Amino acid sequence: MQNPIIDLKGGTILITGAGQGVGRSVALKAAVNGAGNVVVNDFVLERAEAVAEEVRAAGCSAMALQADVSDHHSVREMFDQVRKEVGGVDVLVNNAGNSGTSDVYALRAVPFWEQDASHWQPFLGVNLFGVLHTCREAIPDMRDRGAGRIVNVISDAGRVGDVTLEVYSGAKAGVAGFTRAIARAVGRFGITANCVSLAVMKTPTLEKKLADPEVYKKMMASYILRRPGEPEDAANMILMLGSDASAWVTGQTYPVNGGFSLAL
């Protein structure tokens, strides 16, 4: 459904990690809010292709591109393909992220000072370096056009800290600091850069955990609104920051978290 305050004005929006969840919601909402082209990136090509097909069904042009955002060469190839087919990116949404290794819940039980340093790379590679890689490729085109929007999705773990995910928290906090710095660096080119900070979002894995009423009650007790976030909750804020509705907003971090943590 068209949002009356969001208009992407025919621009090209690239969303990383858009094969599911929040990224998918951003892609679908962009399709009906004025995007000219939606570039759906995911580490798994089949997921990206499925979402791109949904975008086309909504009446918008779409590209599905596989790239590992933790690999700068892979990111550069993706941006080269976008430039070749539709020109540069007008709106970059860095949504790709992870909580580390596949055995992250086992790792949570290990104190930071007992962890093997090799376990930290998945946190840093996607959550921090992934943002650096995509911004490095997107900014020159935005600078040349004299306009651009960068929206980096972080976590409240980066704002308040998670005692069981210290390196993940550090990576997300690093993105917030980078965003403030890059906003200062590129503002003179008409480019804005902001963060959206999320708390617990509804995912298939989470829904299984929350099927237990006691688990649900305990987890949601920390949330003023007493529910997990829906992908659409995040997508609305992300696209507002990606549009001219927020043309004079930059270097900021906006929590979309149901009141898990508060900001002045």
Structural element, H or E, at residue 256: strand 253-256
**Strands across the sheet containing 148-155:** 61-66, 37-42, 12-15, 91-94, 148-155, 191-198, 253-256
Under 8 Å between Cβ of 242 and 149: yes
The residue assigned the tokens 């990136």 is 41
Catalytic residues: 168
Spatial separation of the C-alpha atoms in residues 215 and 156, rounded to whole Å: 20
Alpha helix stretches (DSSP H) within the chain: 21-31, 45-57, 72-86, 104-108, 121-124, 130-145, 156-160, 166-186, 204-210, 213-220, 231-241
Q: Which residues of 170-183 are buried (b: 16+ CB within 10 A; e: fewer)?
A: bbbbbbbebbbebb
The DSSP secondary structure of 91-139, one letter per residue, reads EEEE-----SSTTHHHHHTS-GGGS-GGGSHHHHIIIIIHHHHHHHHHH
**Local structure of residue 228 (DSSP, 8 states):** P
φ, ψ of residue 49 in degrees (nearest 5): -65, -40
Under 8 Å between Cβ of 1 and 236: no
Largest CA distance in the chain: 54
Number of C-beta neighbours around residue 160 at 10 A: 16
